[in-house]
Amino acid sequence: MKKVIIIGGGPAGLFSAYKLLQNNFKVDLYDHSSGLGKKFLVAGNGGLNLTHSEEIDEFVKKYGENESFFASMINEFTPNDLRSFCEELGVETFIGSSKRVFPENLKAAEILLNWIKILKENENFSLHLNHKFTKINSSKEITLIHFENEVKVQGEYVIFAMGGASWKKTGSDGSWSDSFQKLGIELSPFLPMNCGFERSWSAFFIEKINYSPLKNIELKFNDKPIRGEAMLTPFGIEGGGVYAHSLALRDQVIKTGEATLFIDLKPNLTEAEIQTKISHQNDKSSLSNQLRKAIGIDQVAFILLKEIYPHINRDNASGSIKNVEISLCGIRPIDEAISTSGGVRFTELNEFLELKKLKGCYVIGEMLDFEAPTGGYLLQGCFSSAARVVRGLSV
Ligand SMILES: Cc1cc2nc3c(=O)[nH]c(=O)nc-3n(C[C@H](O)[C@H](O)[C@H](O)COP(=O)(O)OP(=O)(O)OC[C@H]3O[C@@H](n4cnc5c(N)ncnc54)[C@H](O)[C@@H]3O)c2cc1C
């Protein structure tokens, strides 16, 4: 029976453990946290978006420059396979109106509990929590720290699944990168992805807005419109529609120190239609009342309009509503990001995600240097990469 050491118990590590046990491997899983799948649980807080139901050809385009690599992995372990896996765990999934796929109760806990139960019931599975990976040498001897004691383990096969570098409190701190660099493995630097952006708002705006959503808007950057929503925060702006532009926005901010995002608060109406509707309002009532009654501009949207266009009035409002110009001056810290770019470069790996410089050692999940938007593409990438490694080990 072949033994595999897995380091990291997020979805990528846990899924490779699950598949390896099914293929009669012995699995030792190490994680430096006191529990498994903490980021997966956090991902379930706002509704766990497991994957996406669009056509695979469209799906794989979301991996940008790594499209062809991900296309081969995702065709092997598809979004439907991921849904079947959830069913194996006793959790039904459904396709939402946006074609995104969610577990029935939207949460991650039930999936995770059932998953861990199955692993623990298998006599070939050993779990070692509170073990921090610190290094691996060229003979594949791994050093872990367990409550200040050094533990050394050696495995013929090792799967690294230690995640990216955001949300440190879930265990994904990116600290593994030092050891990898010492072995000469090339990494791309970690950068926030699917992240928020900074803008300095007035004190009045911060007090009134705090954290408030803007719904059913269109966000435009570099002339690319995306329908979605955003969250105004005391520091700037975040949320789904912003994350969808975050790669381009981030690169622009890194390059020039700033970027301008345009928001259309009423994307279903033309400027002329808005103007006509406003003109039918009683011009004696306040502007906020007129805009609310005419086209449903709520208080949050109105405060935003006043912040950006202090001289907004009945005659110029329609143009402003269609084009709220939000200049951004920074990127929110990496620890707040949904995901991170950067990690082990694909040039360091063969088709089975095996490190060319460390035979028998594999890298999966967010440790890989890839970028994908929210929408289930991150988790699908993690699962499909785990499936690829297991296939490689099983042939
Ligand atoms: C708020 C939020 C919402 C999200 N929502 C979604 C979503 O809806 N859909 C989606 O597709 N994706 C979502 N994601 C992203 C998704 O959760 C991650 O891409 C995914 O968890 C990455 O899986 P992973 O197994 O590669 O790494 P992780 O889940 O980060 O797991 C890594 C594991 O390795 C362990 N580890 C790290 N370093 C060491 C070490 N030195 N020694 C030992 N163990 C170590 C960690 O403790 C952890 O258990 C969300 C993320 C966040 C933060």
Interval 340-381: pLDDT, tens: 999 999 999 999 999 999 999 999 999 999 999 999 999 999
Question: Residues in the chain, how many?
Answer: 395
DSSP 369-395: S----SSSHHHHHHHHHHHHHHHHHH-
Q: Which atom of ligand 1 approaches the CA of 380 most closely?
A: 11
Number of C-beta neighbours around residue 378 at 10 A: 25
Closest CA relative to residue 6, chosen from 146, 128, 117, 173: 128
Residue among 102, 172, 374 whose CB has most ligand 1 atoms within 8 A, to mutate: 172
232-275 confidence digits (pLDDT tens): 999 999 999 999 999 999 999 999 999 999 999 999 999 999 99
Q: Which atom of ligand 1 approaches the CA of 175 most closely?
A: 41
Q: Which atom of ligand 1 approaches the CA of 48 most closely?
A: 8
Instruction: Give the whole-number percent of the chain exceeding pLDDT 90.
Output: 98
Cα(369) to ligand 1 centroid in Å equals 14
Please answer whether residues 343 and 366 qualify as being in contact, where contact means their C-beta atoms are separated by less than 8 angstroms: yes
Cα(129) to ligand 1 centroid in Å equals 16
Three-class SS of residue 230? strand
Rounded Cα distance, 124 and 26, in Å: 5
Assign a CATH topology to domain 3-192+339-394. FAD/NAD(P)-binding domain (3.50.50)
User: What's the rounded mean pLDDT across residues 325-344?
Assistant: 98
Q: Which residue's alpha carbon is at the smallest distance from atom 41 of ligand 1?
A: 133
Three-class SS of residue 197? strand
User: What's the rounded mean pLDDT across residues 162-174?
Assistant: 98
Helical spans, DSSP H, in 257-315: 271-279, 287-295, 299-308
pLDDT (0 to 100) of residue 395:
85
Cα(10) to ligand 1 centroid in Å equals 5
Cα(90) to ligand 1 centroid in Å equals 22
Match 């279903």 to its residue by tokens.
268
267-300 confidence digits (pLDDT tens): 999 999 999 999 999 989 999 999 999 999 999 9
Residue among 42, 162, 180 whose CB has most ligand 1 atoms within 8 A, to mutate: 162
Please answer whether residues 214 and 267 qualify as being in contact, where contact means their C-beta atoms are separated by less than 8 angstroms: no
pLDDT (0 to 100) of residue 220:
98
pLDDT (0 to 100) of residue 161:
98
Closest CA relative to residue 151, chosen from 267, 57, 30: 30
Examine the pLDDT at 46 and tell me if it is beyond 90: no
pLDDT confidence band for 382 (50 / 70 / 90)? very high
Cα(350) to ligand 1 centroid in Å equals 23
Cα(43) to ligand 1 centroid in Å equals 8
Cα(191) to ligand 1 centroid in Å equals 15
139-153 confidence digits (pLDDT tens): 999 999 999 999 999
Examine the pLDDT at 227 and tell me if it is beyond 90: yes
Q: Which residue's alpha carbon is at the smallest distance from atom 1 of ligand 1?
A: 43
Q: What is the mean pLDDT of the chain?
A: 97
Closest CA relative to residue 299, chosen from 214, 366, 222, 227: 214
Instruction: Give the whole-number percent of the chain exceeding pLDDT 70.
Output: 100
Closest CA relative to residue 240, chosen from 374, 120, 372, 357: 374
Closest CA relative to residue 308, chosen from 253, 249, 264: 264
What pTM did the predictor assign?
A: 0.95
Examine the pLDDT at 155 and tell me if it is beyond 90: no
Q: Which atom of ligand 1 approaches the CA of 164 most closely?
A: 30
pLDDT confidence band for 1 (50 / 70 / 90)? confident
Cα(173) to ligand 1 centroid in Å equals 10
Ligand 1 site, CB within 6 A: 7-13, 30-33, 38-40, 42-43, 48-49, 132-133, 161-163, 167, 171-173, 175-176, 338-339, 365-366, 374, 376, 378-379, 382
User: What's the rounded mean pLDDT across residues 157-186?
Assistant: 97
Q: Which residue's alpha carbon is at the smallest distance from atom 14 of ligand 1?
A: 43
Cα(268) to ligand 1 centroid in Å equals 37
Cα(342) to ligand 1 centroid in Å equals 14
Residue among 107, 379, 383 whose CB has most ligand 1 atoms within 8 A, to mutate: 379
**Would you list the domain boundaries of the chain?**
3-192+339-394, 197-331
pLDDT (0 to 100) of residue 157:
97
